[in-house]
Amino acid sequence: MSFRLNDRAIEVRWSKGSCGQSGCADQECVCALCAKPIGVAEEILEQNNHDPECFGCEMCYDQVPIMLFRGEGKDMLQAAFHDRCFKSLCVVE
Ligand SMILES: [Zn+2]
Ligand SMILES: [Zn+2]
Ligand SMILES: [Zn+2]
């Protein structure tokens, strides 16, 4: 399966790299399309007694961002997306 990005690709805000923490609200770490944090911070999962073995409830649904990269070496930029945001960006061919 291959895909290309649709016209919404111009809305993507590329970042120099995220800290990699789930639920982080920093500019460089949020979703490159909707600008909301991706995933849920660990302490919030703990507060909600989330099962660490779980891989499918609403809380962990967005834990793993979809990443795109462009450029090379120190000029490399990345963009992280929620699954649903990424889907709204691409045209599957
Ligand atoms: Zn961060
Ligand atoms: Zn998003
Ligand atoms: Zn879960």
Residue 47's alpha-carbon distances to 39, 41, 62, in angstroms, are: 15, 10, 18
| Residue 50, burial from CB neighbour count under 10 angstroms (0-12, 13-18, 19+) | middle
Report how far ligand 1's centroid is from the alpha carbon of 20 (Å): 6
Task: Please tell me the distance between residue 82's alpha carbon and the centre of ligand 3 in angstroms.
Answer: 16
Position 55 pLDDT exceeds 80: no
The alpha carbon of 84 and the centre of ligand 1 are apart by a number of angstroms equal to 20
Q: Sketch the domain layout of the chain as residue ranges.
A: 3-92
What tens digit of pLDDT does each residue of 15-30 get? 999 998 999 999 999 9
Q: What is the pTM of this model?
A: 0.83
